[in-house]
Structure 1
Amino acid sequence: MTTTTTERPKAYPPPVEALLPKARKLTAKLGEVPSRNRLMTELRIGAPKARAVLDALTAPSDQTDNIPAATSPNRPAVVPAEATGDSGQQTREQTEFIAETTAGTAPLSADVVKPESPQVATSVDPGTAEQPKPASKPQKSVKTWPVLLLAAPAFVAIWSGWVGLGALTGFGVVHPLPGILDGFSINTAITLPIGVETYAAYALRAWLTTTAPTTARTFAKVSAIGALILGALGQIAYHLMSAAGITTAPWWITTAVACLPVAVLGMGAALAHLLRTDSSADSSGS
């Protein structure tokens, strides 16, 4: 007597064609193409298979129409024997498994199969979607009034130092309009603080202005640093000579101080020319 043993069908990973009906049903339920993570959870499949199902759902209509007839929920899918590399028994087991998987699934309308808009075809996971950045609060401008408070004592010290140094180097009271206004006089020592310190501030402003031309900013940088160093040296020279009781500056200090009004005039005119010429060239070039 021969006993026939019925083997239990082996479990095979369902192909994409077998998972598409469930995926389409889930799409109709959600009203949009589900994400890869949602497909993995609902269909209990891995990430690669979920990605393949998602690609099939979002494929253009001409590719969707070319899906094999085996994906229809009303009849079992047939897997060719040469694709599996096994015998007909294995093909039958796969066919039974796919038929059980797709049983009871109602066919979906064409509106669900074919994406209606690019937004549905290119849907992304909610977790990976880039969230809009909150608008940054406008920054408050830095108050500049403390500069005036700092400049007041510095002006007194610098003015007195330059005027005192001018007196030691031969600067003094003159009558610029003899025969016209004999009573009008002026102390030429004030030309030193006005000329040197004013140019230092002017060059520093041009250097720190980012919209100024490159050539003018370079010249302003070098001359501003030089003017500030020269101003510091003038203050040092005056206070050292005043503390030592010197009433007349050495010849080399007198020579240097006498050239300052001419030097600051030349540098100021050159910087103004560079700012004006380069700005005009940029305007004509644009």
Structure 2
Amino acid sequence: MTTAKSSYPVPVADLLPQARQLVKQLGRTPSRNQLMAELRIGAPKAREILDRLSDEQPVQASNPAGLHVVTDPAPAEDEPTETHDDESAEPRHESAETDQASESAPAPAEESETVGEVASEPITVDADPAKLTVDQAVKPVAVWPVMLLALPAFVAIWSGWVGLGQLTGFGIVHPLPGIADGFAINTAITLPIGVETYAAYALRVWLSGQVPTKARRFAKYSALGSLALGALGQIAFHLMKAAGMTSAPWLITAAVACLPVAVLGMGAGLAHLIKDTHREVQR
């Protein structure tokens, strides 16, 4: 027995005839869940209908007289109690069965609509990179292809600086006379090691973002200056080599001679800025 769906709630008075018919069919008062399933109503209306049905039924005596007549007086005192227990146990058993049946019955229309609305709401999950698992972590980009591409450029730069050093007076010297007379070194290799290595390190400090603004600013301008000096040195060497010159003009020689001192000063200044900043942070 079901009621037709309506956009307006059905009054309790209109539902009472259907509830009485359900009582006649079952032979007893239905449970709240049965009323909710059969009449498709909510729990408050089901409880109100149960209250009205209980008011309509006549109050039965808990132990009516004259139901059992026995000759033995001893069992006569216990027998009504046993009969009462049996009668009270049967409705409990029936109510337990109806409760189990009502749980398996479909939910009312009002509750099903509410559950459908809750289930239709989208579920959003915050994509926080800090909460990613190890499997979902993004792998860093490989660096070895860049190093492979930079190798030819490094060879060309090294050759240019060594050639420029030889044209400007850099050459083989004995740095440890009287100590290791046989030890000799070509000072021309100090130019690419000093200038280009400092430029690469200053770029690392500038782009890393791990140092304060003052150190980053100094690293930025010194790195760009070192790269500019390196480019000018390569241009000067190739022009003089193409012209067949065996020695550089004095202006170029003076500028190249100052490069080791300039690199030493910029490197020391950058190191002091980074170190002093770390000390201030620790304080």
TM-score (norm 2): 0.56
Does the C-alpha gap of structure 1 residues 227 and 126 become closer, same or farther in structure 2, counting only changes over 3 Å? same
Can you list the C-alpha shifts for 1:33-84, whole angstroms capped at 9, x where unaligned?
Answer: xxxxxxxxx7637xxxxxxx9xxxxxxxxxxxxxxxxxx9469xxxxxxxxx
Match of 2:256 in 1: 257
Aligned twin of 1:198 = 197
Query: Aligned AA for 2:46?
Result: A
Counterpart position of 1:128: 121
Report deviation, 1:257. Answer: 0.6
Instruction: Give the letter aligned to residue 106 of structure 1.
Output: A
* Structure 2 residue matching 1:212: 3-state secondary structure: coil
Relative distance call for 1:43 and 1:128 in structure 2 (3 A) is farther
Q: Which has the larger radius of gyration?
A: 2
Closer/same/farther in 2, CA of residues 126 and 161 from structure 1, 3 Å limit: same
- In the TM superposition, residue 129 of structure 1 has moved relative to its aligned partner by 4.0
Which is worse superposed, 190-199 or 211-220? 211-220
Partners of 2:234 and 2:273 in 1: how far apart?
30
Secondary structure at 1:106's aligned position in 2? Answer: helix
1:44 is matched with: 7
How many angstroms apart in 2 are the aligned matches of 1:268 and 1:250? 28
Counterpart contact for 1:73–1:107, Cα < 8 Å: no
Among the aligned pairs, what percent are the same residue?
62
CA distance, structure 1, for counterparts of residue 275 and residue 266 of structure 2: 14
> Equivalent residue for 2:177?
178
Task: Say which SS state the counterpart of residue 148 (structure 2) adopts.
Answer: helix
Write the distance in 1 (CA, Å) between the matches of 2:126 and 2:203. 38
* Counterpart residue identity of residue 205, structure 2: A
Which residue of 1 is the match for residue 219 of structure 2?
220
Residue pair 1:213, 1:279 contacting (<8 A) in 2 also: no
- CA distance in 2 between counterparts of 1:243 and 1:160 reads 15
Structure 1: which 4+ aligned runs deviate by more than 4 Å? 72-75, 133-136
Q: Distance in 1 between matches of 2:6 and 2:272?
A: 77
Q: Which moved more, 1:142-151 or 1:195-204?
A: 142-151
Q: How is 1:92-111 mapped onto 2 (pairs within 5 angstroms)?
A: 105-107=45-47
Deviations 1:192-229 (A, max 9, x none): 01100110111011111122222111111111111111
Q: Please report the RMSD computed on the Cα atoms of aligned residues, expressed in angstroms.
A: 3.3
Answer yes or no: is 1:266 the counterpart of 2:206.
Answer: no
Measured against aligned partners, the alpha-carbon deviations of 1:5-58 in whole angstroms (never above 9, x if no partner) come to xxxxxxxxxxxxxxxxxxxxxxxxxxxxxxxxxxxxx7637xxxxxxx9xxxxx
Instruction: Determine the C-alpha separation between the residues in 1 that align with 2:117 and 2:250.
Output: 83
Name the CA shift for 1:44/1:229 in 2 (closer, same or farther; >3 Å). Answer: farther
Partner of 1:275: 274
1:100 is aligned to none
2:143 matches 1:144: yes
Given residue 44 of structure 1, which amino acid in structure 2 is its aligned partner? S
Give, in angstroms, the shift of residue 179 of structure 1: 2.3
The answer for unaligned runs of 5 or more in structure 1 is: 1-41, 46-52, 54-71, 76-104, 110-122
Pick closer, same or farther for the CA change 1:149–1:129 going to 2, 3 Å: closer
Kindly provide the CA deviation profile for residues 99-147 of structure 1, in whole angstroms up to 9, marking residues without a partner as x.
xxxxxx43469xxxxxxxxxxxxx9743334333678632121111123
